[in-house]
Amino acid sequence: MTLPMRRWLLVLAPALLTLLLGGGAARADTPTAQTFGIQPASATEPDSRGTFSYSVTPGALVKDHVAVWNYGDQPLTLRLYPADAFNTDSGGYDVLPEGKPSTQAGSWVRTAADSLTLPARSRQIVPFTLAVPATASPGDHAAGIVVSLRRESKDAKGNAVTVDQRVGARVQIRVSGALHAELKVLDARAVYHPSLNPLDSGRTTVSYSVRNTGNVRLGGRQAVRVSNLLGSIATGAAPADLQELLPGNTVSYHFDVSGSYPVLWSTAGITVDPLAVGADKDPQLSSTVAKQGFASIPWALLVVLLPFALIGYALRQRRHNRLTGIPALPAPVVAGALLAAALLLGQLPLAPHASAAEAGTLASPADTGTLAFDYETGHDDDAIDVLTSGLCPAAGDYLAVRITGAGFPAEGAPLTGTVAAAAYRRAANGGYVLPLANTLRVVANRSGAGPLHGAYTVTASCRAKVAPTSLRDFTGVLNFGTPTSWQAVTVAPPGVIQEAAADPQTGTAPTAGQTGAAPAGAAPGVRRTAAVRTASSGTPVGSWLVMGAGVLLLGWIGVPYARRRLAGRGAGEDVK
């Protein structure tokens, strides 16, 4: 920092998500409703490419162009620079900030200008060159060309604040040579957390990292299951698919799995199936599997049964010293202990265990809101912002947007990654402003949907970070009259999306986590349960075994006691 009181705040424009997740034309809205953007172009005009993608040989020199737009009503001075790309710990796609030197693919790109002054409502085509080093390694290399707007202001305390807003276009480079596609699971850990309820199965916290140890970018489908010595299997809600993991990068996961009854020792198994990204032609893809054993001891149940075991031990000791009569322990105490044990063991068949019927959440019409688009008509290559009618049920929820309709898979195709709801701007209506990370054309091409036609539903789903179960949905519909043009059924009120600007006091937008009020439109009493599946829907084998052991314990304690009791009564009758 150049001044003691100076704070540098980096505010990522909504359309930066387009850069991070591979969209086409990127556009940013500034706090004063000035907009700017960037997209691939020819020497004369912008083109239809979603990203810059090249297949080259070492030492190749590529010349291309990028279009920079000023959509606003005022002149703008913008910075233009290339930067290395990388994955964040959570799997997001990011680029180095300006001022941090690039050492990989970002250093291969040179733009003809690093600063542009654009009149209102204008664009400029900027040439750039991609010089691939002769020593470049085979495989994928990623970078971005970023345009940024930096503004100076002061907060309420008089501190200098710099707001740096960025959008960009991705640069994907594949250098020819031997390709190797591989994902590895590293640092797998599993820890069992017993429930205070001795009849509950508790939960297992599983954490691990997935690293791309090959030289091509990869997606991935994941599965995690926990099994015990008795063969009972619990499968946690599947982690979200890896969208794109760059070579040498790592993404980490941490979540809970319920449903496996503790029987002293269990095993967590993690499977990751590599997937090609987009139209990439990768070498043979092989799954990776990691297993981690861990202790799963039912401490609560053992604590409950321990007094019964002590009572049995005491009675057995007395048996050696006295042939008849009542034990030294008062009869009511022993009778109460036996009754408590009987009640406890009688409930074991009803012990909670996960099943397909228990998975999911309670759905109701109140869980669904509306999704409005920022303009009434548009094209399949437009950058789109959508507005939710309310908030997610909890401030810590995540949001993911997908599209369903003709040509897309039944589950839909993603329009964004899974992003913390608190990261999005809040609008005047109390909802979120969600910039779609990909243009509809890019999504259709990647999904093999072909020309778009008819009605398509766009759904923003509130969910936990790693559980796909929806906690609340917001839906909107686009009608495609032609393969390239659409009309929105629901349109956001004029200015609402644009006015969802950064707080002038802090330079950041208010989030759901910063408000004390309950989320607007949240359904009261919504039960949120992580989806869990088990191998069987009946009583767990472990429960029956524990119950059987309890019955034997009761017999061991109760039968000798009853015999001594009867013997004592008989002796008393003889005396009479």
| CA nearest neighbour of 502 among 494, 493, 511 | 511
Cα gap 451→440, rounded to integer Å = 11
What would the DSSP string read from start to end of 504-566? TTTSS---GGG--SPPTTPPTT------EEES-SS--HHHHHHHHHHHHHHHHHHHHHHHHHH
| 227, two tokens | 């099994």
| 415, two tokens | 């329009």
∠ CA(425), CA(431), CA(435), 5° rounding? Answer: 50
Cα gap 29→11, rounded to integer Å = 11
Q: Work out the mean pLDDT of the chain and round it to a whole number.
A: 75
Extended beta strands in 421-534, E state? 425-426, 432-435, 454-463, 472-482, 485-488, 532-534
Measured over all CA atoms, what is the biggest interatomic distance in the chain, rounded to whole angstroms?
120
Burial class (CB in 10 A: 0-12, 13-18, 19+), 565: middle
Extended beta strands in 237-280, E state? 242-245, 250-258, 264-275
Residues 6+ apart with CB under 8 A from 230: 261, 263, 540, 541, 542, 545
Contact indicator for 490, 372 with CB cutoff of 8 Å: yes
| 479, two tokens | 């009608």
Confidence of residue 517 (pLDDT cuts 50, 70, 90): very low
The alpha carbons of the chain give a radius of gyration, in whole angstroms, of 31
**Residue 569 pLDDT > 70:** no
Confidence of residue 11 (pLDDT cuts 50, 70, 90): very low
Of residues 23 and 565, the one with the higher pLDDT is: 565
**Residue 512 pLDDT > 80:** no
pLDDT digits (tens, 9 = 90+) for 521-548: 333 332 223 333 333 333 444 445 555 6
Confidence of residue 137 (pLDDT cuts 50, 70, 90): very high
Contact indicator for 480, 431 with CB cutoff of 8 Å: no
Centroid of chain to Cα 10: 23
Mean pLDDT of 121-132: 95
| CA nearest neighbour of 335 among 84, 561, 134 | 561
> Which range among 9-13, 191-195, 346-350 has the greatest average pLDDT?
191-195
Dihedral sign for Cα atoms in the order 521, 526, 528, 534: negative
Residues 6+ apart with CB under 8 A from 249: 86, 87, 211, 212
| CA nearest neighbour of 369 among 291, 460, 234, 455 | 460
| CA nearest neighbour of 485 among 363, 362, 338, 377 | 377
Confidence of residue 576 (pLDDT cuts 50, 70, 90): very low
Cα gap 51→569, rounded to integer Å = 93
Dihedral sign for Cα atoms in the order 387, 390, 396, 401: negative
pLDDT of residue 530: 30
pLDDT of residue 505: 34
> Which range among 21-25, 307-311, 427-431 has the greatest average pLDDT?
427-431
Mean pLDDT of 236-247: 82
pLDDT of residue 6: 35
Contact indicator for 126, 111 with CB cutoff of 8 Å: yes
Centroid of chain to Cα 407: 26
**Residue 483 pLDDT > 90:** no
Cα gap 295→263, rounded to integer Å = 8
Burial class (CB in 10 A: 0-12, 13-18, 19+), 29: buried
Mean pLDDT of 290-317: 74
Mean pLDDT of 559-566: 66
**Residue 304 pLDDT > 90:** no
Mean pLDDT of 395-401: 86
Residues 6+ apart with CB under 8 A from 302: none
Contact indicator for 251, 242 with CB cutoff of 8 Å: yes
Of residues 307 and 73, the one with the higher pLDDT is: 73
Using a pLDDT cut of 90, give the percent of the chain over it.
26
Extended beta strands in 5-71, E state? 7-10, 26-29, 35-41, 52-56, 61-70
| 57, two tokens | 């040989």
| CA nearest neighbour of 458 among 480, 484, 483 | 480
